[in-house]
Structure 1
């Protein structure tokens, strides 16, 4: 099977994905889509495989997205699609297609949704950071509860019912580095726990795990992320979160056990928009 990569060589994320795909040994077709833009039919097919609407795939930063009025909620899919065809820079990257499936690999670690990593190796990206693979985890996983409790994070509500998703993060060589959990509330998601194990801290893995968790939230339908923290305000601010007033949070967020009483009143509420 030939894997297709829609690639921008000026993009570090795209270069990282290309390097991993080249290591798989599978036939690879690389399309520099700014030089060879997709047709309307090809772009529509990509959107179908990605299970995304045009606005989901549109790149905002460094593009005419806002200037063209595409940020307006009233702007429909047809207008966004037409703008992407006229301005290919609006197409986010990198997109990897393998058979009937496609993935927008932002963050780049999502390439492992389509291709397995080389066995037994801890791979590094161009900046020296480790690649991560996230795997789903049941909330009653004993190692999850032990790790959260050891870090002083909430465990009292792990066994309660709710629309939640938990993840374990491992290197491509299979070594466990941390955990995260999401409480899914429609267009909102609460990042209810994020933990990098002590032996792995200081390597940028918290930033990578946060990006993966937010992208999973996006794919579940969330477009805004929320969290409470007592000692990591600066870390999450660097990840794009801003302080928020609890009273202004959506009702579904305020009703979560964390905001309703589990977290101390001194915990800072933070929020950010989620984009792929």
Structure 2
């Protein structure tokens, strides 16, 4: 039996990207096309349990009968949601990957790297592998707010650094599979919300779609911790963040926790645009 299994939908670009990386990483995965051969109810329930997620968070909305079935209604129990997933396998989000390191819903596709052994920098077999849309895979590494690379990158980009030492934010450095620095990003946890901040991509890495992947991976980390909505303030990158699913909102729509942050209190100018989006995978 294969030690790596992917519950795969070949029509899904994210699923294809994950499978390509698993194959290039020489894992010889067992591929289960779950729309043709769905897992049993017990197996699906066990996969969700091992992922540590509520059943509702494994439901796929886009391109499924989710809205038609009224699955947004909180009245449905986990058992009932599992019944819906068995009746309509397209409701199972994808791809789910199982390795000796655990079970994960790999969205964005970069998250599959969490399940693989640590890869050496410049791994010849992986360094030249991009996603099928031509964007590099990214690996994120937690870093302290005082990280000199982060401080230097933010300073060069004219982004705030005065509040980095307050210890409230979570920050990451991002690397390509070939070991090239691809950027930095962070967020401040605010109960169910987060304030996204310190997103910066070096000039040499710009124009390659890295920023959008970086934001998706950053929001995934917030989602893993149970956060439900992301907010940010920007003076010049509104167009970029709107392409990443954020929408402009007026400040009177923001929760008090967001308005009380140093960014909203003055680190960002009053002319900065406030944007928000639901955190989903």
TM class, shorter-chain normalised?
Answer: over 0.9
Describe the SS at the equivalent of 2:97: strand
Distance 1:161 1:25 in 2: 40
1:206-221 aligned within 5 A: 206-221=211-226
Summarize deviations over 1:169-190 as a string: whole Å, max 9, x none. 1000111010001111121111
- State the partner residue of 2:164: 158
Distance 2:264 2:60 in 1: 33
Describe the SS at the equivalent of 2:280: coil
Once the 2 structures are TM-superposed, how far is the Cα of residue 5 of structure 1 from its aligned partner? 0.3
- Residue 131 (str. 1) matches residue 137 (str. 2): yes
The worse-fitting range, judged by mean Cα deviation, of 74-83 and 51-60 is 74-83
Residue 101 of structure 2 contacts residue 116 of structure 2 at CA under 8 Å; is this kept in 1? no
Describe the SS at the equivalent of 1:159: helix
TM-score between the two structures when normalised by the length of structure 2? 0.94
- Residue 59 (str. 1) matches residue 60 (str. 2): yes
Any gaps of 5 or more consecutive residues in structure 1? none
- State the partner residue of 1:195: 200
Query: Once superposed, what is the RMSD of the aligned Cα atoms?
Result: 1.3
Once the 2 structures are TM-superposed, how far is the Cα of residue 140 of structure 1 from its aligned partner? 0.8
Residue 108 of structure 2 contacts residue 216 of structure 2 at CA under 8 Å; is this kept in 1? yes
Distance 1:21 1:69 in 2: 35
- State the partner residue of 2:150: 144
Describe the SS at the equivalent of 2:186: strand
The worse-fitting range, judged by mean Cα deviation, of 89-98 and 70-79 is 70-79
Runs of 4+ more than 6 Å apart? none
The worse-fitting range, judged by mean Cα deviation, of 226-235 and 21-30 is 21-30
TM-score between the two structures when normalised by the length of structure 1? 0.96
The worse-fitting range, judged by mean Cα deviation, of 68-77 and 2-11 is 68-77
Partner residue of 1:262 out of 264, 267, 271? 267
Distance 1:74 1:149 in 2: 49
Residue 165 of structure 1 contacts residue 183 of structure 1 at CA under 8 Å; is this kept in 2? yes
- Residue 47 (str. 1) matches residue 48 (str. 2): yes
- State the partner residue of 1:242: 247
Once the 2 structures are TM-superposed, how far is the Cα of residue 73 of structure 1 from its aligned partner? 3.2
Describe the SS at the equivalent of 2:23: helix
Once the 2 structures are TM-superposed, how far is the Cα of residue 255 of structure 1 from its aligned partner? 1.3
1:6-155 aligned within 5 A: 6-99=7-100, 101-116=102-117, 117=119, 119-120=123-124, 121-155=127-161
Once the 2 structures are TM-superposed, how far is the Cα of residue 213 of structure 1 from its aligned partner? 0.7
Aligned residues: 275
Residue 69 of structure 1 contacts residue 75 of structure 1 at CA under 8 Å; is this kept in 2? no
Distance 2:35 2:67 in 1: 20
Once the 2 structures are TM-superposed, how far is the Cα of residue 100 of structure 1 from its aligned partner? 5.7
Once the 2 structures are TM-superposed, how far is the Cα of residue 82 of structure 1 from its aligned partner? 1.6
Summarize deviations over 1:107-159 as a string: whole Å, max 9, x none. 00111001145725242111221111111111111111111011011101000
Distance 1:57 1:209 in 2: 22
Distance 1:37 1:157 in 2: 49
Distance 1:147 1:189 in 2: 22
